[in-house]
Amino acid sequence: MLGSRIKELRELRGYSISELAKLADVSKSYLSQIERGMQTNPSLQVLNKVAITLGTTIEYLLCNEGKAPQTEVELDKEWKELILTAIKEGMRKEDFMEYCKYTKYESWKKERQSVNEDVPK
């Protein structure tokens, strides 16, 4: 039930299993096991990542209640202009995805540094 709901939403969004795994930062094989019903008790952390990526909630994934997935995101004027400018200047989807990975890495690095600074020596 959970796996089929995730698969349905993934396909609705037009994601391959590899794309969803990458965007949600979840192992592709683990996600595949969830979809096929081989993994029936994924962690809340994994479910939260998948739910956020699919634009829904954990409650919706688990019991078909709560926030239904949005089919489209409404962008404000500033976002639209920013995206159009980036496209006109030659930015590709792949470039944007790499930038997102980079900023995520930088955030992780800063978090690790602050944790290491808090550890007594």
pLDDT for 120 equals 65
Instruction: Give the domain-ending residue among 36, 63, 90.
Output: 63
Residue 71 resides in a domain: no
- Number of folded domains that form the chain: 2
Cα 42 to chain center, whole Å?
Answer: 16
Ranges of residues in the chain whose predicted pLDDT is under 70: 64-75, 118-121
- Distance, CA of 100 to CA of 106 (rounded, Å): 10
Residue 72 resides in a domain: no
Do 6 and 41 belong to one domain? yes
Can you list the pairs that 40-48 forms with residues at least 24 positions away whose Cβ atoms lie under 8 Å?
A: 40/2, 42/2
Residue 68 resides in a domain: no
What pLDDT, in 10s, does the model give residues 88-112? 899 988 888 898 889 888 988 888 8
